[in-house]
């Protein structure tokens, strides 16, 4: 028996597609067969499986479990919940891997699979390997199929989120966006001191209120209204599968991913002076400066949650984050991205800093920056364009960081051009001290694109 995946579904960090078009139950079954085969070949026997609240998730889960057990692996089903709850299960249960069925923050018709094998992220070449194994039917056959059991770990997970909590009592708004973290957030706020107001905690895969992506400011409108109406201290928002966090202060100003990291770094660096704090290449220079100021060692790394998790393990960094709102704690935690845990640590950080969230946000350096800009470019051309840009910049003697694409520092600030790992787009971002500086940086990006026969046309959707 063999199976062919739609090539667009096998991505860098996960498997994802439109249900009924590029992803279906046959794919889920094949993923189960391939993943179970890899587990068995590495000496493992059990896998944890979780799912988000999308309408298609139960059917995909059933097919995935069928595939896992057909190749002789036992399955522990943890049921409906956020992706970090699956990561938690993989960390604490006696299992050799874990798979979460989730479409993350994509529209309702998407779904997909995020995987962990032996406490390490499963990505890149490993995902391509599942495709090769399916095409060749290179799967273990089981004489007797694996067993399936259910484990209810939601209360244990919530208990772990709050373990050793030593923060203050605040008045906070929480927007779960009808995503998979809704039930966990309802339980969590009952255990936290202070006053808590929740929005959209009923899990609904149609996302009837707004798109579950807190990094797009328009999706924070209802949270801003709640914070303003009840005069709350701050607001927290979560994506579709609970692994990315968004936040606003008491005045409704967005606290972006790199700004959250600068707040979270302060108590960590008090406890671990000189520690490495990792952020992706899209983060503000203000963050790297702030980590240095706090006595830490800032490190700029490649964008992508799997890449950052791997780098944390290599460097022993206690904390890392991305502009996209993935925050990773290895300090007193397991090193994976968990928006619910990041929320608890953020409340604690505000308490330890001793100022209000609004004061903390107000004191941050003022920069003018662009949102993440995405330009459609042919898949075969996207990495080549970045190489051409790097060659020209080098010839000009520019100040370039090549960690992930080209990040160029000038007296005005910096700009970034990198190829997306997951889509046929180039991603650009720029940051300066004033609008005139930003205009000059944007002109440099345009000149580089033009030199490679491209122009900054209409932006691709996220």
Q: Is 423:322 a contact under the CB 8 Å cutoff?
A: no
| Chain center to CA of 208 | 22
Residues 6+ apart with CB under 8 A from 328: 278, 305, 308, 309, 312, 319, 320, 321, 335, 336, 337
Integer Rg of the chain from CA: 22
104 is catalytic: yes
Q: Is 286:266 a contact under the CB 8 Å cutoff?
A: no
Q: Is 355:365 a contact under the CB 8 Å cutoff?
A: no
Tokens of 27: 């794919």
Q: Is 308:328 a contact under the CB 8 Å cutoff?
A: yes
d(CA 426, CA 456): 10
* Residue that has been written with the tokens 């966990």 in this structure: 184
d(CA 42, CA 73): 12
Q: Which of 71, 104, 262, 452 is flagged as catalytic?
A: 104
* Bridge partners of residue 120, in order along the sequence: 117
Q: Is 179:238 a contact under the CB 8 Å cutoff?
A: yes
d(CA 28, CA 385): 35
Of the candidates 130, 148, 153, the one whose C-alpha atom is nearest the C-alpha of residue 39 is 130
b/e sequence 417-438, b meaning 16+ C-beta within 10 Å: bbbbbebbbbbbbbbbeeeebb
- Angle among Cα 360, 427, 372 to the nearest 5 degrees reads 30
For the purposes of burial, counting CB atoms within 10 Å of the CB of 242, is it exposed (0-12), middle (13-18) or buried (19 or more)?
A: buried
Tokens of 198: 């929740």
Residues 6+ apart with CB under 8 A from 293: none
Q: Where are the beta strands (DSSP E) in 118-256?
A: 120-121, 148-150, 170-175, 194-199, 234-238, 245-249, 254-255
- Angle among Cα 259, 424, 213 to the nearest 5 degrees reads 35
Q: For the chain, first and last CA: distance in Å? A: 36
d(CA 100, CA 411): 45
Residues carrying an active site annotation: 104
């Amino acid at each position: 028996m063999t199976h062919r995946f739609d090539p667009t579904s096998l991505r860098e960090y996960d498997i994802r597609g439109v249900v009924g078009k590029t992803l279906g139950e046959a794919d889920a079954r094949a993923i189960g067969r391939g993943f179970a085969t890899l587990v068995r070949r590495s000496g493992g026997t059990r896998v944890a499986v979780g799912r988000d609240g999308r309408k298609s998730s139960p059917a995909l889960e059933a097919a995935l479990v069928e595939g896992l057990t057909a190749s002789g692996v036992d399955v522990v089903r943890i049921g409906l919940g956020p992706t970090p709850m699956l990561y938690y299960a993989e960390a604490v249960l006696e299992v050799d891997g874990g798979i979460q069925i989730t479409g993350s923050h994509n529209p309702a018709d998407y779904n997909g699979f995020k995987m962990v094998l032996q406490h390490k992220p499963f990505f890149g070449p490993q995902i391509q390997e599942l495709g090769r194994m399916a095409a060749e039917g290179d799967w273990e056959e089981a004489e007797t199929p694996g067993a399936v059991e259910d484990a209810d770990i939601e209360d244990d997970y919530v208990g772990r989120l709050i373990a050793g909590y030593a923060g203050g009592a605040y008045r906070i708004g929480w927007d779960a966006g009808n995503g998979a973290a809704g039930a966990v957030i309802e339980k969590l706020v009952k255990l936290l001191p202070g006053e808590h107001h929740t929005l959209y905690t009923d899990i609904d895969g149609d996302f009837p209120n707004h798109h579950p992506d807190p990094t797009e400011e328009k999706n924070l409108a209802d949270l801003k209204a709640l914070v303003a109406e009840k005069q709350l201290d701050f607001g927290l928002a979560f994506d579709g599968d609970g692994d990315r966090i968004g936040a606003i202060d008491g005045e409704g100003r967005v606290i972006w991913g790199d700004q959250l990291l600068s707040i979270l770094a302060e108590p960590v660096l008090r406890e671990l002076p000189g520690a490495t704090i990792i952020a992706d290449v899209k983060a503000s220079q203000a963050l790297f400066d702030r980590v240095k100021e706090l006595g830490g060692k800032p490190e700029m790394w490649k964008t992508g949650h799997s890449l950052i998790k791997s780098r944390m393990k290599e460097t022993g960094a206690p904390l890392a984050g991305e502009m996209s709102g993935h925050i990773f704690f290895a300090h007193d935690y397991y090193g994976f991205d968990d928006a619910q845990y990041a929320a608890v640590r953020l409340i604690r950080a505000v308490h330890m800093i001793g100022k209000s969230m609004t004061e903390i946000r107000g004191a941050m350096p003022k920069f003018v920056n662009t949102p993440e800009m995405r330009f459609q470019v042919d898949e075969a051309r996207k990495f080549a364009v970045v190489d051409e840009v790097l060659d020209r910049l080098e010839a000009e003697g520019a100040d370039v960081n090549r960690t992930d694409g080209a990040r160029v520092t000038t007296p005005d600030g910096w700009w970034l051009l990198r190829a997306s790992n997951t889509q046929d787009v180039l991603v650009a971002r720029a940051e300066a001290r004033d609008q005139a500086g930003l205009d000059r940086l944007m002109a440099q990006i345009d000149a580089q694109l033009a030199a490679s026969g491209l122009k900054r046309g209409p932006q691709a959707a996220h």
